[in-house]
Amino acid sequence: MLNEFKKINSLKWLPFIGNNYLNTPNENKMLVVGESHYHDNSTESILKHDNENYTRIVIQELAIERQYWGTKIFGNLHKTLLKNDEFSTSNFWNLVCYYNFIQRPMVTNKSRPKLNDFIEGWETFFKIIEIIKPKVCLFIGTSSANSLKNSIQDTNFKIKSLKWEDKLNGAYAKSAIITDIDNNEIKLIFIKHTSQMYSWEKWNKYLEKNIDYQLNWLNEKVKS
């Protein structure tokens, strides 16, 4: 799998792959898609972001070890999926995959990706899911959904459905079902970014309506 990732020229940071992900039943395989990495324009920070394993380091330190570095992203994500942040993070993250959609670092935490970043992001995304074959892709942030329809053209995937749903907690929930070359369905769920002004209770209820099977399975596995 590592060699396959390294063939993706647009992939700057290797995805995090949970130790038990490949043994997970196909219907439960989940890819969590973050949005961006941010550096502070210092030499030390730039060097950290030049490491192809940077995303994996972030998941180990922020998500698994809960060194949250002043950000609420992963604490809120944990609560959104499992209704609390007191479970074994190792058990959870060993079951899923994670990578960031935008594959260049933002210069500050106030910087925003440009349209071309999202278009290139989709090109990378389709190559990644051909390798790891998730059933559900949970996007932290809704902006990337805006360019899905145009970006999926000339790929091995097709859109079966694409929905802009009711406004929830200040953002419109979005979802899609795409199919691969073998007509396997993959569900894409776009939730509000979990960093600020975020209600995990509301988004948990939304996910319970859309991916209840996967959430129930994750809850059982994390408890065991």
Residues 42, 168: contact at Cβ < 8 Å? Answer: no
The reported pLDDT for the residue numbered 185 is 98
The reported pLDDT for the residue numbered 50 is 67
Strand 30-34 to 136-140 pairing = parallel
- Phi, psi dihedrals of residue 202, rounded to the nearest 5°: -65, -40
- Give me the amino acid identity at 51: N
The pLDDT tens digits for 120-149 are: 999 999 999 999 999 999 999 999 999 999
- Give me the amino acid identity at 145: A
User: 73 pLDDT exceeds 60?
Assistant: yes
Strand 171-179 to 16-17 pairing = unpaired
| Residue whose structure tokens are 């859109």 | 159
Task: Go through the domains of the chain in sequence order and give each one's CATH number.
Answer: 2-223 (3.40.470.10)
The reported pLDDT for the residue numbered 110 is 59
Mean pLDDT of the chain: 92
The reported pLDDT for the residue numbered 107 is 65
Mean pLDDT over 25-33 rounds to 97
d(C-alpha 107, C-alpha 156), whole Å: 33
Extended beta strands in the chain, E state: 16-17, 30-34, 97-100, 136-140, 158-168, 171-179, 185-191
The reported pLDDT for the residue numbered 39 is 58
d(C-alpha 92, C-alpha 90), whole Å: 5
pLDDT-based confidence at residue 108 (cuts at 50, 70, 90): low
User: 111 pLDDT exceeds 70?
Assistant: no
Q: 29 in helix, strand or coil?
A: coil
The candidate with the shortest Cα–Cα distance to 196, out of 35, 32, 30, 15, is 35
The pLDDT tens digits for 86-103 are: 999 999 999 999 999 999
Q: Of the spans 44-58, 76-90, 107-121, which averages the highest pLDDT?
A: 76-90
d(C-alpha 129, C-alpha 17), whole Å: 12
- 74 CB-near residues (< 8 Å, 6+ apart): 62, 63, 66, 68, 194
d(C-alpha 28, C-alpha 217), whole Å: 7
The reported pLDDT for the residue numbered 46 is 52
Q: CA 83: distance to chain centroid?
A: 18
User: 45 pLDDT exceeds 60?
Assistant: no
